[in-house]
Amino acid sequence: MVSRKYTGDYRLENVLDKNGVLRTVPVYRGPLFRFTAEPEALRRVKGRTLLLTAAATAALLLPLLSSAPLLRLWYAALPAALCVLPDAELWMGVRRLYTAGPTVTREHRDKIHDRFAGWSLAFAILAALSLLGQLAGYLGGCGPEGIPATVGTLAALAAAAALFGTKKALLMEPVPSERDIATEGSAE
Q: Is residue 111 part of a domain?
A: yes
Digit-coded pLDDT (tens) for 152-186: 899 999 999 998 888 888 889 999 876 555 455 44
The pTM of the full predicted model, rounded to 2 decimals, is: 0.82
Distance CA 50, CA 146 (A): 28
Range of the domain at 118: 32-174
Contact at 8 Å (CB) between 112 and 42?
A: no
Q: Is residue 16 part of a domain?
A: no
Name every residue whose Cβ is closer than 8 Å to that of residue 126 and which is 6 or more positions away in sequence.
79, 80, 82, 83, 86
Q: What's the residue count for the chain?
A: 188
CATH code at position 170: 1.20.120
| pLDDT at residue 181, as a whole number | 55
Digit-coded pLDDT (tens) for 67-85: 888 888 888 889 999 999 9
Q: Is residue 182 part of a domain?
A: no
- Looking at every residue in the chain, the average pLDDT score rounds to 87
Digit-coded pLDDT (tens) for 106-159: 989 988 888 888 999 999 999 999 999 988 888 888 778 888 888 889 999 999
Q: How many domains does the chain have?
A: 1
Distance CA 28, CA 59 (A): 40
| pLDDT at residue 95, as a whole number | 94
Contact at 8 Å (CB) between 131 and 87?
A: no
Q: Is residue 187 part of a domain?
A: no
Q: Is residue 89 part of a domain?
A: yes
Q: Is residue 157 part of a domain?
A: yes
Q: Is residue 67 part of a domain?
A: yes
